[in-house]
Amino acid sequence: MKGAFLTSRVVRKGLQASTLQARQRSSLPEQAHQTASLVQGEPNYPVVATAIPGPKSQELMKDLNDIQAVGSVQFFVDYARSLGNYVADVDGNVLLDVYTQIASLPLGYNHPRLLRAAHSPEMTLASVNRPALGSFPDARWPQKLRSALMWLPRDMTNVQTMACGSCSNENAYKAMFIVYRNRQRGSEDLPPIEDQQSCMLNRAPGSPSLTVLSFEHAFHGRTLGSLTTTRSKPIHKVDIPALDWPVAPFPMYQYPLDQFAAENSAEDERCLQRAEEAIEEYNRAGKWVAGMVIEPIQAEGGDNHASPEFFQGLQKIARKHQMAFMIDEVQTGCGVTGKMWAHQWFGLDGPPDIVSFSKKMLTGGYYHTDKYRPNAPYRIYNTWMGDPAKVLQLEEVISVMKDDKLIENAADVGAHLMTGLNGIAERRPGLLSRIRGLGTFVAFDLPSGGQRDKLMAVLRSKGVVSGGCGDASIRMRPSLVFQRQHADIYLGALESALAELGGD
């Protein structure tokens, strides 16, 4: 406990100085909302003291480069001095972070309640005695799973934790295949000896020709099975062997949505029809489609949204073809869209069969209905199967989310952001387009990928860390403690960055 307060004091002390500097140096608007911050003591404004990456970051990059490729490193972080929505780097810059470790910080940096939880005796035990959960769980494990994971969604009856998003999806696909083969054989018994022998040679019938349908521009991870269902960018896939699995188009809507209702509804119809055709084609070829996987909003592939009717149509198709309907909520889950799970916006007729999660949930894993429970031990298994320390953290995150009404906050701030972005688009015609969002899961497009990249660089020089996606989009992925005053700072920085980009 003593340690927790020590850490908070260190964080606060570091930040007091930077907040002062921020007031002196920031060129950002002073009219930002000033409601009380959800993370006490966080700075009011970003501070930019050097080019980013600064000299110390560059030095460290050289050092790291001796042992590891550093092409994707943006800058080195001073985690002790980061707080709330602000990330501090090793060069003294303090930046408003609307990308938050690739959408994976639920409560920003150094949230006081997570610091306190980090020093609890049960966290110490969980940290130094990492169990093989599938075989040797702690006595409190069932209760911890219930309080951290089973409060929502109420209609999913089982949960399986995993280490990361990719391996959650990978294991969920295995669960689909097991159920599909049981149905084909008409038995839940262990597979016959012929199957057990042929699988050792990677041949049918033990290694069957089963497939998973995914969608153009999808991102479901980078391990071998999940990578086959990923279809966002060649750099993720090129040179890596892939399985011959079906693909269907994801709707590409015209914006603004209310002006293109008929065209977008026709686009839904086209994509649903192509999905069903792809399933029938693969089934006819004996490459049976055991399930489909889809993001509620395609993130990495360009923040593409689709209508509730489209998802309802997919669920019907999945039922008709007796295949699993799986929703990948790795990026959309944990309250950011204004509901705990983005698929809760879709008015589905019953729960999806499987819902995977990771990122802000801190642990990976997937929910599933009773049907997808494996019929024998070790069929879905690995050494760790998650991490109790992460589930303890998640338990505290959920408690803060309830106490501080953070899902409602995401809905409110998201609406505020959308209004602000639409205002900027009107004032600067031709620069921002396709402004879209649910909660704070907001994105917009620039006319080209080159302009998007330049805008992100200018934003960073103004003290804002943002992320790109798709060909020319910027995606906002703030944490759940992102409030209206942070949105105002972001919008002010964006407008002045666009002025630089547009040359006025």
Token code pair at residue 146: 């219930």
Residue 171 binds ligand PLP, judged by CB under 6 A: no
Is there a catalytic annotation at residue 219?
A: yes
> Cβ distance 292 to 314 under 8 Å?
yes
Q: Please identify which residue in the block is written with the tokens 């980009």.
A: 501
Beta bridge pairs of residue 215: 248
Q: Which of 88, 207, 114 is nearest to 395 (CA)?
A: 114
Listed ranges 213-221, 270-278, 417-425, 445-453: which one lies at the site for ligand PLP (CB under 6 A): 213-221
Query: Could you give the CA distance from residue 434 to residue 415 in angstroms, rounded to a whole number?
Result: 15
Residue 301 binds ligand PLP, judged by CB under 6 A: no
Listed ranges 60-68, 276-284, 327-335, 438-446: which one lies at the site for ligand PLP (CB under 6 A): 327-335
DSSP secondary structure, 276-304, as one string: HHHHHHHHHTT-EEEEEEE-SEE-TTT-E
Is there a catalytic annotation at residue 359?
A: yes
Which of 76, 173, 177, 219 binds ligand PLP (CB under 6 A)? It is 219
Whose Cβ is closer to ligand PLP: residue 219's or residue 341's? 219
Listed ranges 47-55, 133-141, 215-223, 475-483: which one lies at the site for ligand PLP (CB under 6 A): 215-223
Residue 165 binds ligand PLP, judged by CB under 6 A: yes
> Cβ distance 458 to 433 under 8 Å?
no
- Which residue's C-beta sits nearest to ligand PLP? 165
Whose Cβ is closer to ligand PLP: residue 81's or residue 390's? 390
Rg of the Cα atoms in the chain:
24
Query: Could you give the CA distance from residue 488 to residue 80 in angstroms, rounded to a whole number?
Result: 26
Q: Please count the other Cβ atoms lying within 10 Å of the Cβ belonging to residue 347.
A: 10
Residue 318 identity: A
Strand residues in 154-272 grouped as ranges (E) = 158-162, 210-215, 247-248
Residue 300 binds ligand PLP, judged by CB under 6 A: yes
Query: Could you give the CA distance from residue 481 to residue 483 in angstroms, rounded to a whole number?
Result: 6
Q: Given 75, 91, 357, 359, which residue is catalytic?
A: 359
Is there a catalytic annotation at residue 144?
A: no
Whose Cβ is closer to ligand PLP: residue 28's or residue 299's? 299
Residue 221 binds ligand PLP, judged by CB under 6 A: yes
Whose Cβ is closer to ligand PLP: residue 96's or residue 299's? 299
CB of 205 to ligand PLP, least distance (A): 30
Whose Cβ is closer to ligand PLP: residue 288's or residue 441's? 441
Token code pair at residue 52: 């980013």
Token code pair at residue 315: 């669920």
Which of 93, 358, 393, 466 binds ligand PLP (CB under 6 A)? It is 358
CB of 394 to ligand PLP, least distance (A): 15
Query: Could you give the CA distance from residue 298 to residue 438 in angstroms, rounded to a whole number?
Result: 12
Q: Given 89, 328, 387, 445, which residue is catalytic?
A: 328
Show which residues are catalytic: 219, 328, 359, 383
Tell me which residues touch ligand PLP (CB under 6 A): 164-166, 169, 219-221, 295, 299-300, 328, 330-331, 358
